[in-house]
Chain A
Amino acid sequence: MIIETICEHGVVRLPAELKFQHDTFTVKVEVPDRELSSGAQPHTEQRSPNDMLSQTRSSLRARSGPSIRDEIDEILGPWKHQIQSGPLLTADDYDRLRHEALKEKYLDRK
């Protein structure tokens, strides 16, 4: 079905009275050329998790797009270097992280 709706600050919201079969699915949106500011490139701004899910789902079908490494790098963005720097994580580190995480979640909770 084709519907008309308003795009506000880059967000397109479908009418609330529409009920959908699935929580996540892909839609095609026609953007009038006159609304594009010059130099606009698709797929730059921060994307919502839902947008990302649709995008990665379609890249799953034909993996000609970015590699998983590129996608992870894009998500980590400015944090990438900081997170991945330092000595290599060991299995013991993972165990420690797991214990600390569980401790923080269950024992340290006020």
Chain B
Amino acid sequence: MIGNKHLVLDLSVILDLWLKPESSRATEEIFACAAEHGTCLWVSAASLPTLEFIAVRRFKEKGVNADGAARDLAKRLIVNLLGQVKVLSNKGFEQADVYLHAHEFEDAQIAASARCLPAGRVRLVSTDASFDALGELPVYPAEQALEWMQSTTGSAANELNFIDLATQQAALRPQIERNIETVLRHGQYIMGPEVKQLEEKLATYVGVKHCITASSGTDTLLIAMMALGIGRGDEIITTPFTFVATGEMIALLGATPVFVDIDPKTYNIDPTRIEAAITARTKAIMPVSLYGQCADMDAINAIANKHGLPVIEDAAQSFGATYKGKKSCALSTIGSTSFFPSKPLGGYGDGGALFTDDDDLAKAMREIRVHGQDRRYHHPRIGINGRLDTLQAAVVLAKMERFNWEVEERHKVGDGYTAMLASRCQGIVTPYIEPYNTSVYAQYSILVANRDNVAKRLNEKGIPTAVHYPVPLNQQPAYRSVGGGSATPISDEISRRVMSLPMGPDLTSSQQQAIVEVLNGSINA
């Protein structure tokens, strides 16, 4: 676990570390075991010049006078420090306000630079008991900070979010700031260099030839179907147990979503029911890799091949998952994913990406994304404005730096839930993951009998829950006349019982234990 608690080290404790080893045992211990206790160490950029001034002055005073030697020592110490801690930025826009509220401007700047960290999980470490933290965060001497770090209080345990994006943001703060700042500096807000960089990175990650980023995981579905020439009168086979976007884009193109019921174990489209739904009007199959687990793509591709149909994997929830060793999005004609903030690879706004090995489809999708143009003001096809903002690409690029780790953690958290629930809770159905799949658990969704009551009790105890999804698409008012009416009894049944628990790579096992404890009590109440 990294980054659940945060210690901001004032320059007084750093100077002691360098100049007064006798007084800095606790600080040494903080450095030694911060990682083990999920604690991130920070210094404020506001501290750095003063640190250098004082250290150099002291070295000179102590006789380190050879040409440049004092400065060189200080430089080495600061560089060493910067390798061990992260640096908090000071923001120009709030300096006047900080100054007006400060008793000690330098202290206040350090405190203000910690405003980007999750409130309640931050302590300022200083030898100065009168440190001016603007009343915004507690100031501890190193000994107390060490104790706090090693205790369970102040971790995220008390404030559970359904998805904890704050911990991730703190862990990636310097990278996110760097990437956003780079875009602000070069100013290429539309199709800037980050978009291309991200597409290259994602294509390599997934293992396909082409990645085309787009404005959302909804627009990617639209672009994919437009590239395949899908339109009025066509039929697309899909699942009713999904987010509305899947069926919505089919209907928007004037085509008909043909809803095929799901597998009762994985909740993904049941391949054994697909062939019966194929007609002369069928133009594509669009499985959804729900909750982060891929649909049975080999079985689906075999049927598609037999009937000459393309397959679009709606992998909005499964980026990072694998199917028989291959990555989600690399499993069919086109893979489509979403960078909605809560998705396994999320941005800070809308975004999505398409993946294909097919050169012609890639070209078509690239053109459709930008008003159907193949060059400026020349439009061989109808398109949309479906580009990913450069700023979003910059954010997703930063998120990629932690993504492999997060996927590993998602496996551990998901498997951990399943093990805890199996041993502690009766009357719950935990997610079934096919042996050939790895899930990224975009959602950790269980089945319970009395969902509303269970959810109410969990919510009362501060544990957020969600339902993905309470009504299958074919039962939604707008879809009854489009592709609705088909009987999908398994989807109906699952949608009545399914409930999602808090999930994410930064969920700690003690948080999970607390959730399972309350859940157990709620089921049996």
Q: Which residues of A contact B (CB under 8 A)?
A: 49-50, 52-57, 59-63, 67-69, 71-72, 75-76, 79, 82-86, 88-89, 91, 94, 97-98, 100-102, 104-105
Contacts and interface: CB of A to CB of B under 8 A. Distances in A.
Contact of B75 (A49, A60, A62, A102): A49
A67 B36 CA distance: 14
A102 B50 CA distance: 9
19 contacts: A50-B79, A54-B83, A56-B83, A60-B83, A63-B31, A63-B34, A63-B36, A68-B28, A69-B28, A72-B21, A75-B73, A85-B62, A89-B58, A91-B12, A97-B54, A97-B57, A98-B54, A100-B57, A101-B56
A88 B20 contact: yes
B61 A82 contact: no
Contacts of A72: 17-18, 21, 77, 80
Interface in B59-87: 59, 61-64, 69, 73, 75-77, 79-80, 82-84
A105 to B, nearest CB: 7
B17 A79 contact: no
A61 B401 CA distance: 14
A68 B17 contact: yes
A98 B53 contact: yes
Given A63-B32, A82-B64, A84-B20, A94 B83 contact: no
Nearest to A84: B21
- Number of contact residues on B: which range applies? 35 or more
Contacts of B360: none
Given A63-B32, A89-B19, A104-B57, A52 B62 contact: no
Given A68-B28, A98-B53, A75 B12 contact: no
B127 A76 contact: no
A97 B82 contact: no
B53 A83 contact: no
Contact of B128 (A59, A91, A98, A104): A91
Q: Which 8 A-B pairs have the closest CB atoms?
A: A56-B83, A101-B53, A101-B57, A49-B79, A68-B31, A75-B76, A97-B57, A97-B54
A83 B63 CA distance: 8
Interface string B75-107: 111011011100000000000000000000000
Contacts of A76: 18, 73
A16 to B, nearest CB: 21
A98 B57 CA distance: 8
B35 A52 contact: no
Contacts of A83: 19, 58-59, 62, 64
A54 B83 CA distance: 7
Contacts of A100: 57
Nearest to A102: B53
Given A53-B83, A68-B32, A79 B64 contact: yes
Contacts, number: 103
Majority DSSP secondary structure for residues of B touching A:
helix
Contacts of B76: 49, 52, 75
B20 A89 contact: yes
B400 interface: no
A72 B53 CA distance: 18
Contacts of A59: 83-84
B222 to A, nearest CB: 32
Contacts of B82: 53, 56
A109 B22 CA distance: 35
A82 B62 contact: yes
B77 to A, nearest CB: 6
Interface string B447-477: 0000000000000000000000000000000
Given A49-B76, A75-B77, A89-B19, A68 B84 contact: yes
A88 B22 contact: yes
Given A84-B21, A104-B57, 4 more contacts: A49-B76, A68-B84, A88-B22, A101-B54
B15 A79 contact: no
A76 B58 CA distance: 13
Nearest to A70: B28
Contact of A98 (B36, B50, B77): B50
B153 interface: no
Contacts of A69: 21, 28
B23 interface: yes
Nearest to B75: A49
Given A68-B17, A72-B17, A102-B53, A82 B77 contact: no
